[in-house]
Amino acid sequence: MDLLNISSTALYAAFVLYLIATFFFGATIRDKRTDNKKGISAKIAMTLTVLGFLAQLVYFITRWMASGHAPVSNMFEFLTFLGMALVLAFIIIYSYYKLSFLGLFALPIAMIIIAYASMFPTELAPLVPSLQSHWLYIHVTTVALGQGILGISFVVGLMYLIKQIDQTVKSKQRSWLEFVLYLLFVLIGFVVITTTFNAVNYNASFEYQSGTETLVTEYHLPAIAGPNQGTLITEDIMEPWFETPSWFQGGDAGRKFNTVIWSLIAGSVIYLITRLILRKRIGAVIQPLLKNVKADLLDEIEYRSVAIGFPVFTLGGLIFASIWAEIAWGRFWGWDPKEVWALITWFFYAAYLHLRLSRGWHGEKSAWLAVIGFGIIMFNLIVVNLVLAGLHSYA
Amino acid sequence: MKEIKCECGHVNPLGTVLCESCGKPIEGNQHIDGNDDEKLLNMRYDGTARRSKTYNKSWIDRVWSFFSSVKVGIWLIVLALVASMIGTIFPQEMYIPANAPNRDPAVFYEEQYGIPGLIYFQLGFHNLYSSWWFMVLIALIGISLVICSLDRFVPLFKALRNQKPKKHKSFLSRQRLFSETDFVTDHDMETVKKQLRKRRYKITEENGHILAEKGRFSRWGPYVNHIGLIIILLAAILRSTPLFYMNEYVWVREGDIEVLPETNGEYYIENKDFILETHDENDERFREAITQEGVVASNFQTDVIVYKANRPIPGAEPELEPIAEDSIRMNQPLEFDGYELYQSGYQLNEFSNMTFKIHETTDSDEEALASFTVDLRNPESEFELESGFRVVLDQYYPDYYLDDDGEPASETNFPRNPAFVFLVYPPNSESAEVSFLGIGRNIDATGENEYKIGIQDFEMHDVSGLTFKYDRSLPFFGIGAAIFMIGVIQGMYWQHRRLWIQRKKDGSLLMAAHTNKNWFGLKKDIEIVIENTNVNMVTDQQELEEKVE
Ligand code: HEM
């Protein structure tokens, strides 16, 4: 077996281990004790999580050996690493607070991210000159670690909201919470729909005009939105219903926009089916699981993960990033959209920390902020890459 | 009244909320920190007197109060955040794509994005981050940061230095973590103290009153990090002056020596060779990706020599003395004498010169009657040839294309696709034949020309685009960033924990504790400290409060 095979098998193994670990974390729910002495299922769950993390480490190292550069250079590799960082952050936070319920929520989020990652091209890609720098590894790994830790604050904030928001009366909070959960379904929808059409090898080629060049793009999902001013080349295949507006920037805007549409459709369908089966809001279904957790403790863990993640993110996302930009382009800051969104993220968490100085912002308000904060991180990862082109557009 | 005397005897400055020494709430000032209706005391700044909350008569007081409000600070941060977002809706002017049909911002935004684009441009959002109001916003954040920090740091520092182990009962019972125990033995007390020391608490004792404290230095974290931010802002101001920052872009052709700008003619650069390499398509590892995505560059490199000019006689041609010879690559800039050169762009295959020959239109062998060479960067306008021909270069389009009106024009000034209009005067003739010539084009406008011009030979070169700069503000940014990091880590990864223990003569004991963050950790500390003693575990009164609701 060559290195690359070992690598992808290890990643797969990690995914499966996380999945099983989640079930064991689920089993701890019946465990009424919220003190440090945990039952056997928590121990098994944690062991599996650590094993999964080690498997992912094997993936990382073998892929590095296979390509000759640290596997953090494209969307697949970065997102996978982010999932890994989230698990690492979970292990760290768990070892301090020993809160098993956290695993029940953190691992699925990590798994969604890893599954999402594997929908992007997974081949080893050579590095363009600007990426050939040790600072690439240092910058990207630190950013991912910071985002992983901040991701825990999102997970805990979400748990807080699910636990605290009254599901019996209609309210804005209840609807927004359900909306956040729905977005997770959209990510799952993306994974499902992409996997399905990949399995049948769907392919539609378009020719389109980009500035003065004529380019060809390949759709792997039926085209609902075709490229701007594009013509379908493949025969006997669904014609696009409409064109992608011209203000979507970046290479392949049409294909990416089409993927978003499909994810929304697939996510909505899965969400609706789930609702039909459960006959309850998703929030209401999960709420009872969190009965035995103290809201106060959730609030504190959420705040601490921001407190720990903020310096790491600053170091990776702003300081190391600037050092690399200085060496590569001779300017440490260039107001490139990706850079600006890192700054926005930083401003946001700075505002969060200052708001926490006043007691009125503890609890639910701050949980919303933690959720929004991670939303900004994901926005930077997904939307900025797809819609706003820049030096960083990975995929 | 200038000062407030507490019943413990300590004299506090005006505006104090909790006595600096014993912590007793000072009547009439409780509204300042919002303690009125609360069971728990707000311990944020240990109830110290802050200028902003004490004086508000003169306009200075009001400005001070305004900027020292965290609320205002947060608003400023949020405004900067929203402004930054707006700047990413459409590309900034410098990121208008190179292949856009029209890169003039006045046209580009409307053409690409319609009315919203036009509004965006007219509001100046295409240069948002260098707009005056964005700068003002950042400056306000800086001012707010300084005033806010001063307002709190000084009193907090004094209060933490003045604090006494002996605290008023109402101070203790209104802490978030609090417990009462009816009877505690001397032995238990020793155990508690020993455990506290073991957990690295510093213990101060006064008549059976104990203050155990650790991690006070972490309270200074925010002030340290704010100093770092200020240094960064100051560095940004320095960088806007030419003394600290210079940035130029130079194009150098292979084989050429160019003077480096902004050096008073002191430095010259020679481009020996530009090299573009690509990843091997047959590389086992990357074959799949390369087939899908196309060829990927692996190296951009310019081999250069940097010269220093010596001018023994002012105004004379300089003598160039090589001082550095190196390869500049992406991620590997060249440094010399405080300057830096970066590989930033390239242009492949420009024409250096073209050699033409003249032959008779009817001659199928195209035998050359005369030939001449045009230097495409510096074309002569007239050529006298040996055989009596005279050629005038009437029009020269270095980068030829047909414009919207179908007229020939030049897209750039670089000889990438040269085209020419030549006037050919045959020997002893005063009337010229007109020839239009370009790559793949040879047009005889009248169809009656006796002589024809053809391209005989040409030479090509590459051009390197190099960023030439110095940035002497970088050390200041570095120092600022380092101080910021030290400050945040200091404030975030350590916490200030305090425990107050009061043991009365009858053996009863009060215990209260406070931390600025990580209550979970503090509770764990207390659990360990009171293990195997009679002391009651503290209750979290904030939690109790919640349960009542
Ligand atoms: C982008 C700018 C800023 C950043 C990144 C920043 C960062 C921080 C950080 C990380 C903390 C520590 C928070 C904690 O320990 O929980 C802090 C505390 C603080 N900041 Fe800022 N800050 C900024 C701007 C400001 C401004 C404009 C003000 C003025 C109103 C301000 C006032 C404060 C105060 C009063 C504290 C609390 C100090 C204490 O705990 O004793 N900050 N800041």
Containing H/E element for A375?
helix A364-386
Q: Which residues 303-362 of A are in CB contact (within 8 Å) with B?
A: 303-304, 307-308, 310-311, 314-315, 318-319, 322, 326-332, 334-337, 340-341, 343-344, 347-348, 350-351, 354-355, 357-359
Q: Residue A226 falls within a domain, yes or no? A: yes
Mean predicted confidence (pLDDT) in A305-334? 94
Share of chain B above pLDDT 70, in %: 98
Q: Residue B179 falls within a domain, yes or no? A: no
Instruction: Please say whether the beta carbons of B538 and B523 come within 8 A.
Output: yes
Residue A299: per-residue pLDDT: 92
Q: Say which range, A33-37, A138-142, B22-26, has the weakest mean pLDDT.
A: A33-37
Q: What are the chain B neighbours of A294 within 8 Å (beta carbons)? A: 543
- Burial class of residue B104 (count of CB atoms within 10 Å of its CB; 0-12, 13-18, 19+): exposed
Domain that includes residue A262, residue range = 184-280
Instruction: Please say whether the beta carbons of B503 and B208 come within 8 A.
Output: yes
Q: How confident is the model at residue A390 (pLDDT cuts 50, 70, 90)?
A: very low
- Token pair belonging to A269: 């369908």
Q: What is the mean pLDDT of chain A?
A: 87
Res B472 pLDDT > 90: yes
Q: Residue B130 falls within a domain, yes or no? A: yes
- Token pair belonging to B215: 């991690």
| B221 CA from centroid of ligand 1 (Å) | 9
Q: Tell me what ipTM this predicted complex has.
A: 0.90
Instruction: Express each pLDDT in B222-245 by its tens digit.
Output: 999 999 999 999 999 999 999 999
Instruction: Express each pLDDT in A206-264 by its tens digit.
Output: 888 766 677 778 888 888 888 877 788 777 778 788 887 776 665 677 787 888 888 89
Q: Say which range, A309-323, B92-106, B391-405, has the weakest mean pLDDT.
A: B92-106
Residue B236: per-residue pLDDT: 93
Query: B357 and B288 share a domain?
Result: no
Residue closest to B81 by CA, chosen among A343, A338, A379, A388: A343
Q: Residue B173 falls within a domain, yes or no? A: no
Query: B112 and B76 share a domain?
Result: yes
- Measured CA to CA, the distance from residue B192 to residue B184 in angstroms comes to 11
Residue A111: per-residue pLDDT: 92
Residue A36: per-residue pLDDT: 47
Query: B330 and B361 share a domain?
Result: no
Residue B163: per-residue pLDDT: 85
Ligand 1 pocket, Cβ-based, cut-off 6 angstroms: A 350, 353-354, 356-357; B 70, 73, 76-77, 141, 144-145, 148, 152, 222, 225-226, 229, 488, 491
Instruction: Express each pLDDT in A48-89 by its tens digit.
Output: 999 999 999 999 999 999 888 889 888 899 999 999 999 999
Residue A138: per-residue pLDDT: 94
- Burial class of residue A150 (count of CB atoms within 10 Å of its CB; 0-12, 13-18, 19+): buried
Kind of pairing, strands A225-226 and A242-243? parallel
In angstroms, what is the C-alpha Rg of chain A?
22
For chain B, the domain total comes to 4
Q: Say which range, A180-194, A310-324, B36-50, has the weakest mean pLDDT.
A: B36-50
Q: Residue A127 falls within a domain, yes or no? A: no
Q: What are the chain A neighbours of B78 within 8 Å (beta carbons)? A: 347, 351
Q: Residue A377 falls within a domain, yes or no? A: no
Q: Which residues 353-372 of A are in CB contact (within 8 Å) with B?
A: 354-355, 357-359
Residue A38: per-residue pLDDT: 59
Q: Residue A218 falls within a domain, yes or no? A: yes
Q: Residue B364 falls within a domain, yes or no? A: yes
Query: B38 and B69 share a domain?
Result: no
**A121 close contact with B: CB closer than 8 A:** yes
Q: Residue B126 falls within a domain, yes or no? A: yes
Res B547 pLDDT > 60: no
Res B342 pLDDT > 60: yes
Residue closest to A125 by CA, chosen among A166, A160, A76: A76
Query: B337 and B362 share a domain?
Result: no
Mean predicted confidence (pLDDT) in B358-384? 87
Q: Residue A305 falls within a domain, yes or no? A: no
**B472 close contact with A: CB closer than 8 A:** no
Higher pLDDT, B225 or B454: B225
- Token pair belonging to B120: 């965006």
| Residue where a domain terminates, one of B129, B148, B167 | B148
Higher pLDDT, A388 or A65: A65
Share of chain B above pLDDT 90, in %: 41
Query: B35 and B111 share a domain?
Result: no
Winning range, highest mean pLDDT, from A345-349, B92-96, B195-199: A345-349
Query: B95 and B138 share a domain?
Result: yes
Phi-psi sector, B52: left (phi>0), alpha (psi -120 to 50), beta: alpha
Residue B482: per-residue pLDDT: 97
**pTM of the entire structure?**
0.89
Q: Residue B144 falls within a domain, yes or no? A: yes
Res B185 pLDDT > 50: yes
Q: Residue B113 falls within a domain, yes or no? A: yes
DSSP calls for B56-104:
-SSHHHHHHHHHT-HHHHHHHHHHHHHHHHHTTTS--GGGS-TT-S---
Closest partner residue to A330 among B77, B467, B518, by Cβ? Answer: B467
Q: How confident is the model at residue B2 (pLDDT cuts 50, 70, 90)?
A: low
- Measured CA to CA, the distance from residue A24 to residue A31 in angstroms comes to 12
**CA A251 to each of CA A332, A386, B289: distance values in angstroms, whole numbers, following the listed order:** 25, 8, 17
Q: Residue A285 falls within a domain, yes or no? A: no
Three-class SS state of A283: helix
Provide the strand spans (E) within A120-197.
Answer: none
Q: How confident is the model at residue A361 (pLDDT cuts 50, 70, 90)?
A: confident
Q: How confident is the model at residue B548 (pLDDT cuts 50, 70, 90)?
A: very low
- Measured CA to CA, the distance from residue A293 to residue A314 in angstroms comes to 31
- Token pair belonging to B279: 């990843």
Query: B380 and B454 share a domain?
Result: yes
Q: Residue B163 falls within a domain, yes or no? A: no
Q: Residue A330 falls within a domain, yes or no? A: no
Q: Residue A205 falls within a domain, yes or no? A: yes
Instruction: Express each pLDDT in A149-199 by its tens digit.
Output: 999 999 999 999 999 998 888 999 999 999 999 999 998 888 888 888 888
Phi, then psi, of B333 in degrees rounded to 5: -70, 165
Q: How confident is the model at residue A392 (pLDDT cuts 50, 70, 90)?
A: very low
Report which residue type is found at B357. K
- Measured CA to CA, the distance from residue A286 to residue A280 in angstroms comes to 10
Q: How confident is the model at residue A387 (pLDDT cuts 50, 70, 90)?
A: low
Domain that includes residue B27, residue range = 1-46
For chain A, the domain total comes to 1
Q: How confident is the model at residue B210 (pLDDT cuts 50, 70, 90)?
A: very high
Residue matched to tokens 């230097």? B375
Query: B69 and B16 share a domain?
Result: no
Instruction: Please say whether the beta carbons of B514 and B175 come within 8 A.
Output: yes
- Measured CA to CA, the distance from residue B113 to residue B99 in angstroms comes to 16
Containing H/E element for B287?
helix B287-293
Residue A37: per-residue pLDDT: 52
